[in-house]
């Protein structure tokens, strides 16, 4: 279920402040733990490190990502495959 339009996108104030500070200095890596954060047009061109529960995964924000959540671009589960028996 999506968020109600009149509430607007979910954004953390702390993260917005770090983005504004890094805009003035340079577009450096920003570490983010919350995956439910909505990507805004301000983040285009940033390199973001998103925590998947074990490690930080590097994500480069591009135009097509605006409006989506950060968790959509980070895998949180291992890929499983059955092992074949040798004859």
Asked if residue 8 has pLDDT above 90, the reply is: no
Looking at the chain, the whole-number percentage of residues with pLDDT higher than 90 is 20
Locate the domains of the chain by residue range. Answer: 13-73
pLDDT at 63 over 90: yes
Q: Average pLDDT of the chain?
A: 83
d(CA 18, CA 50): 15
At 79, the pLDDT band (50, 70, 90 cuts) reads confident
The model's pTM is 0.73
Cα–Cα nearest to 59, from 46, 69, 76, 77: 46
- pLDDT by residue (tens digit) across 17-49? 877 777 666 666 788 888 888 888 888 888 889
Q: Which residues pair with 30 in a beta bridge?
A: 48
CATH class of domain segment(s) 13-73 = alpha beta
Question: Which residue's entry shows tokens 């770090």?
Answer: 18
Q: For residue 1, what pLDDT band results from cuts at 50, 70 and 90? A: low
């Amino acid at each position: 279920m999506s968020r109600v339009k009149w509430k607007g996108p979910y954004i953390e104030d702390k993260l917005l402040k770090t983005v504004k500070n890094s805009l003035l200095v340079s577009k450096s890596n920003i570490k983010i733990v919350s995956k439910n954060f909505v990507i805004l047009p301000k983040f285009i061109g940033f390199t973001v490190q998103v925590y998947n529960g074990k490690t930080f995964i590097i994500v480069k924000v591009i135009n097509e990502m605006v409006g989506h959540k950060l968790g959509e671009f980070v895998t949180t589960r291992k890929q499983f495959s059955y092992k074949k028996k040798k004859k």
